[in-house]
Structure 1
Amino acid sequence: MIGTIVNIFRIRDLRNKILFTIALLIIYRVGFHIPNPGFDHGRIAAVFETGRDTESPLGRAAEYLQMFTGGTLSRSSLFGLGIMPYITASIILMLLGEVVPALKKLRQEGQTGHKKIQEYTRYLTVLICIVQAVMYMKMLGGYTYPGMQVQAYIMGILGMTAGTVFLMWLGEQIDEYGIGNGISLIIMAGIIAQMPWAILRLAQQVDFTVGAPTGSIGPARILFLIGAFIFVVAGAILITQGQRRIPIQQAKQMRGRRMYGGQRHYLPLRVNHGGVMPIIFASSFMMFPPIIVQMIADRFRGSVVLQAMVGALRGDAYTYNVLYMLLIFLFAYFWVTVQFQPREMAKNLRDSGSFIPGLRPGRRTAEYLETVMTRITYFGAAFLAVIAVVPTFLTYFLNIDWTITTFIGGTGLLIVVSVSLDLVQKIEANLIMRSYDGFSSSGRIKGAYA
């Protein structure tokens, strides 16, 4: 491992890319300490630190958003919205690309169409930023300095919108001049930045003395948390790398007196084809029903049915977690339906002179690929559903803060694992391309086969 790290810094081009990426990520983190003007940040920090709420629907939603932005609600910074508006805009245009003929045609135009879609994504990002910034300013409206409410609102909306646009530009610079995958690296940096605070909160609750209070964490729980973290990370790596390899036979062709083709290779189908997107969709969707039901129940306090619905939609309720897992399954299959195109794959195989042994090219091959993907998606969705409820399970049964257990499972952990694996593979590809050994002693890191 040490030799591999030395080799990384021996290669000038790779070294410059990594250092450039690190420098831009440092700029990203520094931006969270630049506050929005016009707000009394001392009062905001005092209120949010003393009144931290992770049990109510609004509190859960706020904690979930904080995980992706990399900041805290107690710090009204220019980068407070993070990069999530850009991700939201990208997902919206990606889904619209399947139903709007004009966008679908742009996607098929190659690099020119991709640049045009990127331009639309930037415009939509600005619109989403303005909407989210207005909501953010309304939430912090009572903490402005006297006589500066209007100015603070305007500067806050413009500042947070400009902050997200700047982060979007940073991600594009990492893609072009850095190691690549800039937007994902920014999200991962925001999640990892929350980890020291979670460790600090865990350390504050640890008590190894005899007769420790009920809410404290003893050595048995610490060992269990470490074991659960290792087990979940290993499972996340396995399912992220897992793939079903479909054998592909290339047809033989006679050119002159020589025979070409006839090679046998494989078509890899990922077990978790949707990645972390099904959990993000399900989590985002499940934020709204508890908030809406809570608002209605506060208006009609005498309704027994509404109070029962509020209890059923609590984060630790059985009903809530079952609905959450069902939505993950639903969005996993939905994402595969949108992204996986078996007919195009079958057409490309036929045009290249390749076929799956035992299957006729064309329609029969497309049906087979769709059947295989449907089956393996079930196991990928099941794994995502289990990972998603691990934080709630640990919070309920071990009485550990939800902000701590989110790093043992859930969306944040899967994002960190996926982006880390992708980063390692990019660096390893650069090393192998220049005749250096990769991170693994047996060669390139490969996926697990199903």
Structure 2
Amino acid sequence: MWSNLRDAWKIPEIRKKLLFTLATVFIFRIGSAIPVPYMNQEAIQQLFNNSQGTMLDFLDMMAGGNISQFSVFATSIYPYITASIVIQLLTYAIPSLEELAKDEDGRKKIQIYTRYLGIALAFVTAIGYTFGLFGSALEATTLMQKMIVVLSIVGGTAFLIWLSDQITMYGISNGSSIIIFLGIIGKLPGDIRKMIYGVKIGYISILSVVLFTIFALFVVVIVVAINEGERRIPVQYAKRVVGRKLYGGQATHIPIKVSMSGVMPIIFANAIMSIPGLLSIFNPEGGFARFFTNWFTTQTVKGTVIYTILNIVLIIAFAFFYSSMQFNTVEYSKNLQQQGGFIPGIRPGKPTSVYLQRILDRVVIVGAIVLAFLATIPTFVSIFTKIPIAFGGTSLIIVVGVVIEIVKSIEQQMLIRHYKGFLN
């Protein structure tokens, strides 16, 4: 593996991508340490220490710890993720957006719409944070100072949106996933310190730590397994004569990944589950905030059950939604027929698309259920072991999934240049 790493580093293009990605890590960590002006950091920390609810902890986990520090990246990139979900759903519902999505120029326009909506959502969230959830920590007195506070948060989100696009174009893997990955990793040292402190004072037992570690390793193994699993559908190409040459006749296969959508269903599900918490930030002591805390967080038994059920349903739904976007069975069947290919025992055309859709549904449901199961079990383990570490739930799956995506991205780029596979 180290030999292949050295080979990857020797390729100028890959080395530039790796250095660019590492530079974005450095930039992200700097931004996470820049506090929003006119906000009392001690009051914010006191608010977190005295809070008995889990809404703050949940939102802070989503932002990678940037809310507790109230840095310029307090809203992270989740407004953009939420905007992406909304625009993608509208693309299926509005014919004009569906037409735009069919060509390259149209897709660029949709990306622009998504950025504008993401910044608008960041603006609304920043207002809620400044004057609602953390209103007691606000030290700004003039209108200009209050505008600076809000615009600092919005500017941080806009910068992360731009940075994620730059990572996608010039770095390794998907930019949004990298940003979320960095946020989760950035909160990990603090969570580990809390766990060590809990062990020292006797709140957490050594047995609980061992049990949690075993479950974490189990999650890592299963995530790697489902990311590597695939169903191969055999394809045969008919022989045809063009001039004096004979083409076709070879046999190949269509790979359908068990986890075709990767960690995106979990990221999308987390974004949706955070919406009630974001709506309650305008009145954190109101009835809606208490209702959300009691019914949609893991603070109470009923909240844990409802949160778990909704999270499972959303993960499975987004797994099907994302897979349908990546693998259009109708278009694939048409392309296969035009190229003279067919699946043995299946007639070309509509029967092929129906067969592919049936196989796709069976494969996706298996991967989605496993993914939902893995996203649920660690949460209960964290509650049972009393380990206050956000890394134990869906965050662990996101981290493992993003690492696998990065490794595969490097491997693909090396294979393109006729190098030995990164994993071999």
Both proteins in one fold, TM over 0.5: yes
In structure 2, what is the equivalent of residue 447 of structure 1?
Answer: none
1:137 aligns with 2:130: yes
**Letter of the structure 2 residue corresponding to residue 189 of structure 1:** L
Cα drift, residue 27 of structure 1: 0.7
Question: Which whole-Å deviations, capped at 9, do the CAs of 1:280-301 have from their partners, x for residues lacking one?
Answer: 44444455679999x9x9869x
1:93 aligns with 2:87: yes
1:421 aligns with 2:404: yes
In structure 1, what is the equivalent of residue 312 of structure 2?
Answer: 325
Question: Which whole-Å deviations, capped at 9, do the CAs of 1:66-90 have from their partners, x for residues lacking one?
Answer: 2332233332221111111122222
- SS of 2:347's equivalent in the other structure is coil
**Letter of the structure 2 residue corresponding to residue 409 of structure 1:** G
Cα drift, residue 365 of structure 1: 0.8
- SS of 2:241's equivalent in the other structure is strand
1:106 aligns with 2:100: yes
In structure 1, what is the equivalent of residue 205 of structure 2?
Answer: 217
Structure 2 CA distance, aligned partners of 1:66 and 1:34? 16
Structure 1 CA distance, aligned partners of 2:112 and 2:293? 42
In structure 2, what is the equivalent of residue 256 of structure 1?
Answer: 243
Cα pair 1:141 1:149 within 8 Å, conserved: no
1:407 aligns with 2:366: no
Cα drift, residue 249 of structure 1: 1.1
Question: Which whole-Å deviations, capped at 9, do the CAs of 1:294-332 have from their partners, x for residues lacking one?
Answer: x9x9869xxxxx99x986655244642344434433443
**More displaced stretch, 315-324 vs 165-174:** 315-324
Question: Which whole-Å deviations, capped at 9, do the CAs of 1:190-219 have from their partners, x for residues lacking one?
Answer: 111111111111111224xxxx84x2222x
Larger fraction in helix: 2
Cα drift, residue 394 of structure 1: 0.8
Matches within 5 A, 1:291-310: none
**Residues 73, 79 of structure 1: alpha-carbon distance in 2 compared, 3 angstrom cutoff:** closer
In structure 2, what is the equivalent of residue 84 of structure 1?
Answer: 78
Paired-residue identity, %: 37
Structure 2 CA distance, aligned partners of 1:325 and 1:419? 20
**Letter of the structure 1 residue corresponding to residue 339 of structure 2:** S
**Letter of the structure 1 residue corresponding to residue 392 of structure 2:** I
**Letter of the structure 2 residue corresponding to residue 423 of structure 1:** I
1:185 aligns with 2:178: yes
- SS of 1:98's equivalent in the other structure is helix
Root-mean-square deviation (CA, aligned residues, Å) is 2.9
Cα pair 1:232 1:387 within 8 Å, conserved: yes
In structure 1, what is the equivalent of residue 42 of structure 2?
Answer: 42
In structure 2, what is the equivalent of residue 75 of structure 1?
Answer: 69
User: Of 153, 167, 172, which residue of structure 1 is paired with 2:146?
Assistant: 153
- SS of 2:169's equivalent in the other structure is helix
Structure 2 CA distance, aligned partners of 1:290 and 1:31? 24
Cα pair 2:63 2:75 within 8 Å, conserved: yes
Cα drift, residue 180 of structure 1: 4.3
**Letter of the structure 2 residue corresponding to residue 217 of structure 1:** S
User: Of 103, 109, 112, which residue of structure 2 is paired with 1:116?
Assistant: 109
Structure 2 CA distance, aligned partners of 1:285 and 1:9? 39
User: Of 365, 386, 403, which residue of structure 1 is paired with 2:373?
Assistant: 386
Structure 2 CA distance, aligned partners of 1:174 and 1:93? 21
In structure 1, what is the equivalent of residue 32 of structure 2?
Answer: 32
Cα pair 2:216 2:378 within 8 Å, conserved: no
In structure 2, what is the equivalent of residue 432 of structure 1?
Answer: 415
Cα drift, residue 273 of structure 1: 3.2
**Letter of the structure 1 residue corresponding to residue 374 of structure 2:** I
1:368 aligns with 2:362: no
Cα drift, residue 177 of structure 1: 2.6
Structure 2 CA distance, aligned partners of 1:165 and 1:292? 21
Q: Normalization by structure 2: what TM-score?
A: 0.88
- SS of 1:74's equivalent in the other structure is helix
Cα pair 1:95 1:338 within 8 Å, conserved: no
**Letter of the structure 1 residue corresponding to residue 74 of structure 2:** G
**Letter of the structure 2 residue corresponding to residue 407 of structure 1:** F
In structure 2, what is the equivalent of residue 448 of structure 1?
Answer: none
Structure 2 CA distance, aligned partners of 1:30 and 1:95? 35
Q: Normalization by structure 1: what TM-score?
A: 0.83
Cα pair 1:38 1:149 within 8 Å, conserved: no
**More displaced stretch, 325-334 vs 123-132:** 325-334
**More displaced stretch, 425-434 vs 117-126:** 425-434
**Residues 358, 181 of structure 1: alpha-carbon distance in 2 compared, 3 angstrom cutoff:** same
In structure 2, what is the equivalent of residue 200 of structure 1?
Answer: 193
**Letter of the structure 1 residue corresponding to residue 15 of structure 2:** R
Structure 2 CA distance, aligned partners of 1:13 and 1:339? 27
In structure 2, what is the equivalent of residue 5 of structure 1?
Answer: 5
Cα drift, residue 5 of structure 1: 2.5
Gaps of 5+ in 2: none
1:341 aligns with 2:328: yes
Instruction: Count matched residues.
Output: 416
**Letter of the structure 2 residue corresponding to residue 124 of structure 1:** L
